[in-house]
Structure 1
Amino acid sequence: MTRTAANLRIEGRVQGVGYRWWAVGEAKRLGLSGWARNRKDSSVEILAIGAPDAIAGLERVCAEGPPAARVTAVRRTPAEDDGSQGFHQRETV
């Protein structure tokens, strides 16, 4: 399998609503590696690594988010594969 990497920045009401925990579960369900973390600007950042169609699937579900979230934007940019294995949460930056 060819591994592709993308950085997703999710904006809106996405902190304090379980978004990172939810995103980790969705990424694992899609077979992705990488991480999710809160940013001090109130957004959530995700590094998604895996099959291009799985990353696109994560991008689609991230636009909805968990029930308490109110997503206003999902911005996708290309990223470098950092070698992550599995998917986990990281500390806020």
Structure 2
Amino acid sequence: MDVNETERPAPVRGTFFVHGDVQGVGFRWWTRARALELGLVGHARNTVDGRVEVVAQGPAGAVDRLHELLTEVPSTTRRPGRVTQVVAQRGGPRDGIDSFVER
């Protein structure tokens, strides 16, 4: 086993339910762009109740940074829409996810 493989931190999974004016304003596209910049995989999808569900997995620091970007007030990255609340859940990663997509 390569030494770098043993030092690589285990990936984590973050699920974020984003409340506010976040549908129909480019929010999922913006989230996907930030996640790809951070090297994360997962998805962003609209829910029937007006929230956006963001599932991101990868290094803990990158998942934490995406959470910061989702909650940042004011947004320094020109985040579209208006976020009023982000509810976060953490867990272990799931197999078979190899990109970040908008659903």
Fold agreement, TM-score > 0.5: yes
Partner in structure 2 of residue 88 of structure 1: 101
- 1:13-92 equivalences under 5 Å are 13-64=21-72, 66-83=78-95, 84-90=97-103
Q: Greater CA radius of gyration, 1 or 2? A: 2
Q: Gaps spanning 5+ residues in structure 1: where?
A: none
Distance 1:67-1:89 versus aligned 2 partners, 3 A rule: closer
Aligned residues: CA RMSD: 1.5
Aligned residues: 90
Query: Does the CA contact (< 8 Å) of 1:36 and 1:89 recur in 2?
Result: yes
Displaced runs of 4 or more, over 3 A = 64-68
Partner of 1:85, secondary structure, is coil
Scaled by the length of structure 1, what TM-score is found? 0.88
Same amino acid, percent of matched pairs: 34
CA positional deviation for 1:82: 2.7
Task: Give, in whole Å, the separation in 2 of the partners of 1:62 and 1:41.
Answer: 18
